[in-house]
Chain A
């Protein structure tokens, strides 16, 4: 180890109440490499990066930058040491311009006055130097997410970052934008920047990383290279056991139409048209996947179908009958199950117990209610049965839903929704933020619902999820369905292009 490392951490320990988030973690970043940090949610990746960036203080351990021992007490220290971070949720002020965001906290001045000309000049110089094209006067909230990410990278470069931490940078990007990001990452490493690439996506790690460090439950499991391993091997390292990456499923046997959406028009909060004349149908025993980059109207579409949002035009028919508008209870009683996009906001009442959350759809009916009174015994019995059946890991059924992990929260929702007799399942981002093990479980459950004859509408921004689960795929772009294709007749590249709004000849509608 004669080579000087860009960054090294030794024996980092970080405890949170009840959790050992980082357990004697060692990690070494060589100069000019892309080093992937791979692990499930809650494995301790983000904790480690927050320690390196000075947002958390480690309980034990040492950090070395360029071979010298340092203490990092705040982001200020990290920036001074040449460490830059691109956070998973962008740290950009939406109403500021690119130039303003770039200089925030390190502003060039003329006398007392901000020197925005110097800021614009810096944007142009860095853009040119690293091949990251942006307009210095554009306002962040008007820019596509991929370009916002470039601004985040520029921000770090403006502060002379030599070590760049990218926290789940591909989560919000289209496949094409991911390709562009990888090109940028290569350009950066050629210019001597070292990159820590945090992710849980195996394909991307194999594509870009020079070294891969895998973390599990706060510990480093091992360090490897793409040449020495494959996706299966990495998944096993992450989870600690063999994982089935591709869900086993038999061909779909579609029967009667359950859900029919006709010329649906829905507005968002700002009264702009978010869903623009969408029509499709979902049949018994099939999964229709809605693919698309986040924010193309999927949320509004699902909310309209599930009775949560006002419908501006068009119709939603459930088994041939028009559904009354904004009446979730009607839908629930007629066999609709809903796994909402935001499980903490719309899926659960976090301050209620698991037992109460499990009867949110049925609490007013026997056996859970006797007239005006709740039947506690039936509620408890129901909870005990479902917690076992759906493998919810919890100390007790009286634990509040808010104290469960994301995966277990999702299992509670799935248990509640799947334990009723259902005809239609609407699942929006059912595995967002979950670990590989939980994803595998939820996917199996969704397939088995299909096989029992339910119609499934699956909305997801994860292309892998869509391609492995859906029988047919509808691609949404700017509020419209640009194509409906059979899942086995379309390639990832074609889907990616459709998601980015371009039309291709091969993707002719095949309803």
Chain B
């Protein structure tokens, strides 16, 4: 009944992983075909897919850390936006990119603390708490934004030596700027923490049956606080990615709904880091394709329609394909201690 990985259990293995395997092979064949046909475009689309997925996967990790501990965070959009702005401002006034990123992470964590305070301690409806953060971020960034500020550079790709020489994979995977690398590492890290450490076990218990955790001496409030704050830091990193890595500047409302798409990504990924990564890549691909179609000029469709692609995908995925995804049982319910 344990992992059916051994050869003797190959039937079970095929039954369990067969569809995934078939999908992966089909995908590889498809990519190979297009790479043989037009290598530059394929490379560009795939590299863009990865980069477009970065804020989504970071946002989704933020969302799932919170929801695994039963705190719904719909303020990811606001956390990203304010973090993008603060990261940009710090960079403008200090000239330092690292300080900018750290400031973004810190402000994301701070907004996470605000959300945790509202939803865990004050037990405000979590949807309202998240909305407060979104409105706050739009208001603050809109009010303090000044036209004409410019960042001192942006985070540049760091080629990983000889690995970049591998055709296709090298350019796509091993020649990326730092936050893109970080986002991939974070997927693995969050998966490890969530499923292989005591902290992760406790987090999931708090999200499923907080009273059970409480009766075993686990501090439910502390677990929720820490997860929401760490999640906020990840959303902050996504914000810093947008202003200091992707664009190198700040624009009003530059998150453009990515915080909400990140929630769709989290749900599509069934509240797991790898699921979220896969979903984020799918959405990233939709965005990359959209850009390619708009500027490639091969297709004669009004650009407004092509621009809808990622959002259309969100709606289709959420309406039709989520299926039996089961959120943590206590998701969104504030915890009341007895006595």
Interface residues of A (CB under 8 A from B): 50, 53, 55-57, 74-76, 79, 85, 87, 90-96, 100, 103-107, 109, 112-114, 137, 155
Q: Nearest 10 pairs between A and B by C-beta?
A: A105-B216, A76-B217, A56-B339, A91-B212, A107-B198, A93-B209, A93-B208, A91-B215, A75-B217, A93-B205
* A–B pairs, 9, beta carbons within 8 Å: A53-B215, A55-B338, A90-B212, A91-B215, A93-B209, A96-B205, A104-B216, A107-B201, A114-B200
Of B2, B211, B339, most A-chain CB atoms within 10 Å: B339
Given A74-B217, A75-B217, A109-B198, A104:B205 Cβ within 8 A:
yes
User: Contacts of B185 on A, CB cut-off 8 Å?
Assistant: none
Count of chain B residues near A, Cβ 8 A: 23
Q: A100-B201, A105-B216, A114-B196 are in contact. List 4 more A-B contacts (CB 8 A).
A: A79-B216, A94-B209, A95-B208, A103-B201
Name the distance in Å between B128's Cβ and chain A's nearest Cβ.
Answer: 22
A55 to B205, CA, bound (A): 19
Contact A137–B215 (Cβ < 8 Å): no
B216–A91 CB distance below 8 A:
yes
Give B68 Cβ to nearest chain A Cβ, in Å.
12
- What separation, in Å, do the CA atoms of A85 and B215 have in the docked complex? 9
Alpha-carbon gap, A113 to B196, bound state (A)? 5
Chain B residue, CB-CB nearest to A135: B1
Residue of A whose beta carbon sits closest to that of B211: A91
Provided the pairs A55-B339, A79-B217, A85-B215 are in contact, do residues A104 and B208 lie with their beta carbons within 8 angstroms? no
- Which of A75, A87, A90, A114 makes the CB contact (< 8 A) with B197? A114
A143 to chain B, nearest CB (A): 14
Decide if B208 touches A105 in the complex (CB within 8 Å): no
Instruction: Check A105–B213 contact: CB distance below 8 A.
Output: yes
Q: In the bound complex, how far is the Cα of B338 from the Cα of A137, in angstroms?
A: 31
Q: Tell me whether B226 is interfacial, beta carbon within 8 Å.
A: no
Distance A104 CA – B200 CA, assembled complex (angstroms): 10
Nearest A residue to B207 by beta-carbon distance? A93
Within 8 A of A (CB), among B184-214: 196-198, 200-202, 204-205, 208-209, 211-214
A155 surroundings in chain B (CB, below 8 A): 216
The smallest beta-carbon distance between B208 and chain A, in angstroms, is: 5
Give the residues in chain A near B211, CB-CB below 8 Å: 91
Q: Is B215 a contact of A94 with CB atoms below 8 Å?
A: no
Chain A residues with Cβ below 8 Å from B216 are: 75, 79, 91, 104-106, 155
- By a CB distance below 8 angstroms, the chain A residues around B197 are 109, 112-114
List chain B residues, Cβ under 8 A from A56: 338-339
On whether the beta carbons of A105 and B217 are closer than 8 Å, the reply is yes
A14 to B172, CA, bound (A): 66
